[in-house]
Structure 1
Amino acid sequence: MLEIQQGFSSNPDMASAIKEVVHQIQQDEVKFVIFFSSTKYDFQQVSKEINAAFEGAEVIGSTSAGEIGKHGFSNHSLVAMSISSKDWIASTVIIENIHSKPMLYRKNVIQAFEKTGLNRNDPALHQKSFGILLVDGLQAAEEMVLSVIHSIFETDQFPLVGGSAGDDLKFAETYVSANGKVYNDAAVLTFVKTSHPFCTYRENIFEPTEHTLLITKADIRGRIVYEMNGMPAAEAYASKLGIPTANLAEKMETYPIGRMYAKKVWISTPFKILDKGAIQFYSQIFPNTMVSILKPIDPVLVARETVKNIKAQLPGVKGVIGFNCIVRLLQFQKEKACEKVYQELSDLGEVVGFTTYGEQYGKVHINQTLTMLAIGE
């Protein structure tokens, strides 16, 4: 039997907030706890106390740029989820030095996976296990971390979801936590083996326009695109939107870039315009890639379709862990859609998550997306 509990507190007193959340998620035989905390709280202390309250469980968490819980999309709060089951084996690994040397931790990743008792080459692996990944959101290293993780598998189908830690839009320091210890310049990865049904899902609130661009010059590691269609990137981008280049910065988040793969859209959000019309993105784009300019669609209708699709895959869904991009949240706030979107998603049971500085789905780091792990009975 699978039991899921969620907790929420926005109590300004940190000790009280931790106590409230721990009380709400206490249950017998807790195997896994995940929590997300505003930086208004001392993250070291939050991590230490939540871990101490759940001896024997794997406990992971991160700082956030907003939280998702029983009160919908919130800010300056603490949320958590606990999972109790006799059929749940979890193993956590910390990948450090992610901005420069994450490959040095490949062996640790393998060892953590093997602790679950699974075979990395099992063709049915995607039906038995999944990964949850929390990454320091200010190192621009998500793609390197994902490369290390997926290098241990022969299959391309290993299900993984996650988010990049936030810090309430301070863009100063973000942190991840594993079993009471706090890290930055690091990623925390938990492998789970279970026979409980689950699915991963990626929600997209954009669709392609007729405007396409060819990436003709780019710095992959720096996430910088210098040229599109042989022109300075900003000039080419603006011309497709029919606006002056000087006005592009205010439009980029509304009309981001989509990399098309397997008839699906993978979003890369522009970060800022650099000298000579170069554009830096929040995720990597490779040279010679054809991309589409995207346009927004109704997020409430998309959320409704998300619930329908997840329930079709997982009729007994009991809870969801979600990773929602900060740019999406800002869009929801602007459109006064936060409550309506959450009301749709809450039909999936216990919903806990956080507002991220980027999202992970399978082998890919993306932006302006909601990635989710849904778990059922």
Structure 2
Amino acid sequence: VRALRRRLEPHGPDHAQPTRCFALSLIDGLANAEETVVSAIAWALEGIPLVGGSAGDDLTFRDAVLLHGGAIHRNAAVLLLVESDFPVQIFKSDNFEPTDVKFVVTASDGESRTVYELNAEPAAREYAMAVGLDPERLTPMSFAAYPLAVKVGGEYFCRSIRRLNADGSLSFFCAIDEGVVLTLAEPRDIVASTRAELARLDRALGGVDLIIGFECVLRRLDAESRQVRQGIADLYRRYDMVGFETYGEQYRAMHLNQTLTGIAIGKRPADERLASEGPAEATPAPPALP
């Protein structure tokens, strides 16, 4: 990261302005290393905003790969640092609301991201009972419809379930430690929430030219189950969004789930816009997750 920053900042560290520079991370989504990698990268970036996503394999959970330098890489991460003549702004958008249903993680393996017990009961059974489903018939569609979230600094961040295991445990897309309190969440209108966030970016930048987005695969499944996938696709075309479906999303120093993160690039050169309108709207940094 320091070597990349030296190439990006030929005139010193103050040259890399957060309103014109950003970093993109692409990480193997099956290596279970996002929290460590993203935390280290964000620390070394020293204020350059970071977004990205975890590479997946269409929910088979066998082999996620990255491409770099014309070669295939596994258990790897790729980092890109970008400087633009146009204003940029990173963002995140989700579509869930917390409920009053709580789960305490009472047995887990943080390294494998596996939760064995919730509220001192078998994890899958306790979760299924809370949402009114058969514990033996839990699927990715179930997890997309009934997400779990953790509260940090007064804000909720999604912690999505990856799969049901044969022993009744649940594997997650994020690290889950014993003692963590998980809150059952319910989805909001995904089209309305996404539309509002993209419209905000459009106003903040004085017009959006391009958005590079990283969307959790569970958002797609949820949109398909509610038959609103076409509405989401129409929004992405309207705002010229390109990107990836992911097994997890990165935003600053955090690894998230069931979220849309990305970088929006404005239409007008930054110097021209700043001269006529002042700086782009700033987004406060969220609290770091454990």
Match in the other structure for 1:167? 57
Within 2, Cα distance between the matches of 1:283 and 1:221?
10
Match in the other structure for 1:134? 26
Match in the other structure for 1:359? 249
Answer yes or no: is 1:314 the counterpart of 2:205: yes
Matched letter for residue 178 of structure 2: P
Whether the 8 Å contact between 1:163 and 1:360 is mirrored in structure 2 is yes
Whether the 8 Å contact between 2:42 and 2:50 is mirrored in structure 1 is no
Match in the other structure for 2:9? 117
1:258-314 Cα distance to aligned partner (Å, 9 max, x none): 112234332121122336543211111233222211112222112211222212322
Within 1, Cα distance between the matches of 2:115 and 2:163?
11
Whether the 8 Å contact between 1:135 and 1:187 is mirrored in structure 2 is yes
Answer yes or no: is 1:231 the counterpart of 2:133: no
Q: Which runs of 5+ in 1 are unaligned?
A: 1-108
SS at match of 2:57: coil
Match in the other structure for 2:231? 340
Answer yes or no: is 1:286 the counterpart of 2:144: no
Within 1, Cα distance between the matches of 2:114 and 2:229?
32
Match in the other structure for 1:254? 145
Structure 1 residues 56-205: aligned runs within 5 Å: 109-117=1-9, 126-153=18-45, 155=46, 157-194=47-84, 196-205=86-95
Whether the 8 Å contact between 1:324 and 1:370 is mirrored in structure 2 is yes
- Which residue, out of 97, 112, 118, partners 1:207? 97
Matched letter for residue 180 of structure 2: T
Matched letter for residue 146 of structure 1: V
* Deviation of 1:360 (Å): 1.5
The range that moved more, 265-274 or 294-303, is 265-274
Within 1, Cα distance between the matches of 2:184 and 2:231?
27
Distance 1:170 1:244, change over 3 A: closer
Aligned residues: 266
Tell me the percent identity: 33
Within 1, Cα distance between the matches of 2:16 and 2:196?
28
Within 2, Cα distance between the matches of 1:318 and 1:205?
24
Match in the other structure for 2:216? 325
Match in the other structure for 2:191? 300
Distance 1:285 1:158, change over 3 A: farther
Within 2, Cα distance between the matches of 1:203 and 1:133?
18
Distance 1:146 1:225, change over 3 A: same
* Deviation of 1:189 (Å): 0.4
- TM-score w.r.t. structure 2 length? 0.80
Within 1, Cα distance between the matches of 2:123 and 2:194?
33
* Deviation of 1:235 (Å): 3.5
Question: With CA pairs under 8 Å and 6+ residues apart, which has the higher RCO, 1 or 2?
Answer: 2
1:314-333 Cα distance to aligned partner (Å, 9 max, x none): 22321100111222222323
Match in the other structure for 1:266? 157
1:16-49 Cα distance to aligned partner (Å, 9 max, x none): xxxxxxxxxxxxxxxxxxxxxxxxxxxxxxxxxx
Match in the other structure for 1:100? none
* Deviation of 1:128 (Å): 4.3
Q: Which runs of 5+ in 2 are unaligned?
A: 269-290
CA RMSD in angstroms, aligned pairs only: 2.8
